[in-house]
Copies of this chain bind each other. A is one copy, B any other.
Amino acid sequence: MTRIQLQDLRKEFDDVTAVDGIDLTIEDGEFLVIVGPSGCGKSTTLRLLAGLEHATDGRIRMNDRDVTGIEPKNRNIAMVFQNYALYPHMTGRRNISFGMKSAGEFTDREIEKRVDQASETLDIADLLDRKPQAMSGGERQRVALGRAIVRDPDAFLMDEPLSNLDAKLRIQMRAELTKLHSELGTTTVYVTHDQTEAMTLGERVVVMEDGRIMQVDTPQVLYDFPEHRFVAEFIGDPAMNMIDVSLETGSAVHDAFRLPLPTGGAYSEEWTEANRAAVLGIRPEDLYLAKERPNLGQTTFTATVDVTEPLGDSLLLHCSVGESKFKMEAEPRATIEPADEIEVMYDPARLHLFDPETGECRYHSEQSTASLERIENTPEP
């Protein structure tokens, strides 16, 4: 188990800066997820950690040992790749034991013992004598995991290990990964571009864009208190609605509605200047049909439904209000059709305001003190 520190880490390729000065401490035993859009530098960060790339600048420490220039094999880490990277010509057992055999630090008996142990943990005993092409995607992924855990490394590095699997399998493997982590407790860094995976797996989640870290927090805090418009839109599906508004004292004003903003700590004086432009963020599930929650009796506004998408457990409405578009969820069996006019209500505790230029978050309608408190209260990783 290991504590990993990245200090001002950067990696430049010929013409791109893939990782642009990252500072991050990964705690001992933590399951940390790095998420972000394609090309944001997730894989590069992980590969820097693994030693597969050389940092242009900055340091990497594992347990206070500087490993920046150390070879991969001497870092005692294990990596799981998206394409599993199983040796196609070896059986499951050989795939798992090959690395150990090569390292030469283990006796044959020990290897056998560990392979058996790992295969029990992962329930892959019956795959050991098959070659990868005779395994399904999920089975291959499991063997790849087996290969990683068998060496009892200080840390697991995983680069989108589930994205080649189909949806069902992905969910199942997700649960197994969580279970595995709770059993082994090994420090794990997990890269994905899928925010659902990030949310469900990560004890903490790093959101990256353009080689930089935008926010590091527990999943729910990321969801509830995004510090940046980018994070707000990236986390959550369907994404948070962003509506251009102008601010007046205590209200966000739009052509079609005027929302009072609950007063609270988190927004500065200047933001109350009249007519200042801002971006109002509300998540689709924080909008309701007024008729579905008649008892809340709050400010409402009227919108037009453009498209309806039945998701089974809810009905996703694509709506327009004035020039703006937004999405919201309705009861799954609501009988709403395109072109219907609907009365929309919102949860006043779940409003966010973003700076239209920098994208930084200026305001959460829930008191930031409360939110900070919540952050501190989140269970230790």
Give residues in A with beta carbon < 8 Å to B. 37-38, 166-168, 171, 175, 178-179, 193-196, 199-200, 218-220, 223-224, 235-239, 283, 285, 307, 309-313, 316, 318, 332-333, 335, 337, 374, 377, 379
Contact = CB atoms under 8 A, between A and B. Distances in A.
Contact of A333 (B37, B224, B337): B224
Contact of A195 (B167, B194, B200, B379): B167
Contacts of A311: 196, 199-200
30 contacts: A37-B168, A166-B194, A167-B196, A171-B237, A171-B238, A175-B307, A175-B318, A178-B307, A179-B307, A195-B312, A199-B311, A199-B312, A200-B309, A200-B311, A200-B316, A218-B310, A220-B310, A220-B312, A220-B332, A220-B333, A223-B312, A223-B313, A223-B332, A224-B332, A224-B333, A235-B312, A236-B312, A236-B313, A237-B312, A335-B377
A130 to B, nearest CB: 18
Shortest beta-carbon contacts, A-B, top 5:
A223-B312, A200-B309, A219-B310, A285-B313, A220-B310
Given A167-B194, A307-B178, A316-B200, A379 B337 contact: yes
A166 B178 contact: no
Contacts of A168: 37, 239
Q: Kindly name the residue among A179, A236, A238, A333 whose own CB sees the greatest number of chain B CB atoms within 10 A.
A: A333
Nearest to A329: B313
Given A167-B196, A237-B312, A285-B313, 17 more contacts: A37-B168, A167-B194, A167-B195, A167-B237, A175-B307, A178-B307, A196-B311, A199-B309, A199-B312, A200-B311, A220-B333, A223-B312, A223-B332, A235-B312, A236-B313, A333-B374, A337-B379
A313 B220 CA distance: 9
Nearest to A374: B333
Nearest to A172: B239
B194 A312 contact: no
B38 A166 contact: yes
A310 B310 CA distance: 23
Contacts of A313: 223, 236, 283, 285
A199 B310 contact: yes
Contacts of A223: 310, 312-313, 332
A294 to B, nearest CB: 14
Q: Kindly name the residue among A236, A239, A313, A379 whose own CB sees the greatest number of chain B CB atoms within 10 A.
A: A313
Contacts of A195: 167, 312
Contacts of A374: 333
Nearest to A39: B136
A316 B220 CA distance: 12
A195 B166 CA distance: 11
Contacts of A175: 307, 318
A83 to B, nearest CB: 14
A303 to B, nearest CB: 17
A310 B222 CA distance: 11
B310 A200 contact: yes
Contacts of A307: 175, 178-179
